[in-house]
Amino acid sequence: MVALSGGEQGKRAKGARDYLRVSLDRSGRARSLEEQHADHVRVAGEQGWSLLEGSYRDESVSASRYARKVRGGFDALITDLEADRFGARVLMIWESSRGSRRVGEWVRLVELCEQRSVSIYVTTHGRCYEPGNGRDRRSLLEDAVDSEYESAKMSARARRAAAANAVAGRPHGPIPYGYRRVFHPQTRVFLAQEPQPGEAEVVTELYRRLIQGHSLRGIARDFQQREIRTRSGVVWTGQHLRSLAIKPVYAGLRSHAPGGRGGDRMVDLEGLYEGQWPGLVSRGEWFAVQRLLRAPERKTTRPGRAKHLLSLIGRCGVCAGTLNVGYREGANPIYLCRTKGCVRITQADLDTLAAQVMLDYLAQSDVIDALRAGEHDGDRELSEVRDRLAAARARHEQLADAVAARTVSVATLVRAEPTLLAEITTLETRERELSTPSALRGLIEPGADVAQRWATTPMSTRREIARLLLTPELIGQLRLNPSPRRGRHRTPAHERTTWWRGNQDGSDPR
């Protein structure tokens, strides 16, 4: 224990310090820090104590064991008592629950006060407790147990209410961008959540462009140029737009994640309920965007930053590995086999060939008719198929994530995956029959010059088109074969490229 001078001992013998905390409870018993301190000043004067400067303060921070915020004032009080820097004879607390609703914390405080010969004055009790007195100690600890129990009951009631509101589909939290809420003019009872003109159109455009392959950063730049801003007047960023795109509220869905910390996080696709408001986008569109944003490759690369049309799309004709872009000093970029380096070709040559083949394919009237099939006649069925397909893909990806996180066994994956994949394949086939793929919609509008529109299409969208068309079911998978010529004579790209469509059973003919 630190030795005190005679003057310091006298000051401590007559001194008191207070701990102030205001929680968010709405019981009517809460007092502001200033009100609590004023009560302490009055009581200290009546008791003949000198209330020292330097109150320990925590404002709007819960003391319950369910709280997440750090209580800096309480921690400083404990630290000073441990180091014998408290410097007073009395600790003043307006109400015992203001000290702590955690029994362990309260016991630690009482023990330290006993060790340092510090009395605890509870203003609402009008009484000074001596921690070294058995009866007083029991009273203080009983208060702690009662406070923790009351806190537990309040937390349980709040959790039940939150779960009930979620199941009922009632809106929660701040009013989301794109919506407004209507309340009864007299009672202020919630009546409805409805689209906010001017904002709702921004949300629907965001989803539409993401599905078409536009990047978040690209959309944000466009919004900035068009002077479209957030509700608070801030320019849009890619991160802002991502936080909008992951919200289920825009599909008319209510999420509920007990114990979740909120923030900019993906929601659990299984914890969704029907909301009491109209969606701004369809369920299929929302699930499609979640699938895009949850894609593993987005964790390591910036969305929309791919610069080359066929990177990771074209295939090696020898080993069927994907093509990647490489650079040689002083030379143009080349595509080469990513797996074994079996083949290589100048990037521009292969891009030109692939683009021309795709444009020729789209220029055929029967192809465009087939791609448009059902766009107007099967809207209802198309929407239902897309909703089911997006949900099935999301379930499959969530199952894979659960296996990777070891919350689901590999055996469960082996049993469940074949059924899910079969369902996904069936739905994909039906969707292809019913709709024009979203990435192609800007290219095949009536009267459109496909080549001209291709030239102004973002690379991210071109790559989506390549992923769609360069498949065994349509044009065929682009496979680059080794050059039959050696030396300085280059074999043209069209002589080295095959459009692999597989065998009838879907297997590789090699």
The span from the CA of 164 to the CA of 129, in Å, is 43
Looking at the fold, whether 231 and 277 belong to one and the same domain comes out as yes
Cα distances from 393 to residues 243, 297, 396, 425, 472, in angstroms, run: 21, 16, 5, 10, 21
Q: Which domain holds residue 391?
A: 376-435
Indicate whether 465 belongs to any domain: yes
Question: What pLDDT, on a 0 to 100 scale, did the predictor assign at position 380?
Answer: 65
Looking at the fold, whether 135 and 240 belong to one and the same domain comes out as no
Indicate whether 171 belongs to any domain: no
Question: What pLDDT, on a 0 to 100 scale, did the predictor assign at position 267?
Answer: 62
- Distance between alpha carbon 26 and the CA centroid of its chain, in Å? 30
Half-sphere exposure of 487 (CA within 13 A, CB side): 2
Q: How many CB atoms lie within 10 A of CB 127?
A: 11
CB 321 within 8 A of CB 478: no
Strands 315-316 and 344-346: unpaired
Looking at the fold, whether 412 and 456 belong to one and the same domain comes out as no
Indicate whether 173 belongs to any domain: no
403: tokens are 């296996």
CATH number at residue 226: 3.90.1750.20
Indicate whether 250 belongs to any domain: yes
Contacts of 19 (CB under 8 A, 6+ apart): 55, 56, 57, 58, 73, 74, 77, 91, 92, 93, 98, 99
The span from the CA of 315 to the CA of 500, in Å, is 10
Domain count, the chain: 4
CB 309 within 8 A of CB 462: yes
Q: Which of 62, 74, 60 is nearest to 18 (CA)?
A: 74
Looking at the fold, whether 199 and 275 belong to one and the same domain comes out as yes
Cα distances from 219 to residues 304, 374, 401, 466, in angstroms, run: 10, 29, 29, 21
Looking at the fold, whether 195 and 73 belong to one and the same domain comes out as no
Looking at the fold, whether 194 and 288 belong to one and the same domain comes out as yes
Looking at the fold, whether 418 and 402 belong to one and the same domain comes out as yes
Question: What pLDDT, on a 0 to 100 scale, did the predictor assign at position 188?
Answer: 83
Question: What pLDDT, on a 0 to 100 scale, did the predictor assign at position 318?
Answer: 92
> Where are the alpha helices (H) located in 169-215, listed in sequence order?
200-211
Indicate whether 343 belongs to any domain: yes
Q: Which of 289, 220, 216 is nearest to 251 (CA)?
A: 289
The span from the CA of 105 to the CA of 259, in Å, is 22
Indicate whether 112 belongs to any domain: yes
Of the residues 279, 299, 319, which one is the last residue of a structural domain? 299
Indicate whether 441 belongs to any domain: no
Indicate whether 207 belongs to any domain: yes
CB 393 within 8 A of CB 427: no
Looking at the fold, whether 459 and 323 belong to one and the same domain comes out as yes
Of the residues 299, 317, 336, which one is the last residue of a structural domain? 299
Give strand pairing partners of 194: 180
The span from the CA of 226 to the CA of 221, in Å, is 9
What is the block-wise mean pLDDT of the chain (510 residues), using blocks of 10 residues?
Answer: 42 78 51 84 91 84 43 86 92 72 78 92 90 89 74 62 66 88 87 92 93 87 93 91 90 70 54 83 85 62 63 91 80 86 90 91 74 52 79 83 77 79 80 61 60 80 85 90 75 91 56
Of the residues 132, 165, 198, which one is the last residue of a structural domain? 165
3 state DSSP class of 17: strand
Looking at the fold, whether 24 and 122 belong to one and the same domain comes out as yes
Contacts of 283 (CB under 8 A, 6+ apart): 251, 252, 253, 386, 387, 390, 391
CATH number at residue 93: 3.40.50.1390
Looking at the fold, whether 138 and 204 belong to one and the same domain comes out as no
Contacts of 23 (CB under 8 A, 6+ apart): 30, 60, 61, 62, 63, 98
Looking at the fold, whether 498 and 352 belong to one and the same domain comes out as yes
Question: What pLDDT, on a 0 to 100 scale, did the predictor assign at position 147?
Answer: 67
Question: What pLDDT, on a 0 to 100 scale, did the predictor assign at position 414?
Answer: 75
Looking at the fold, whether 129 and 266 belong to one and the same domain comes out as no
Give strand pairing partners of 59: 22
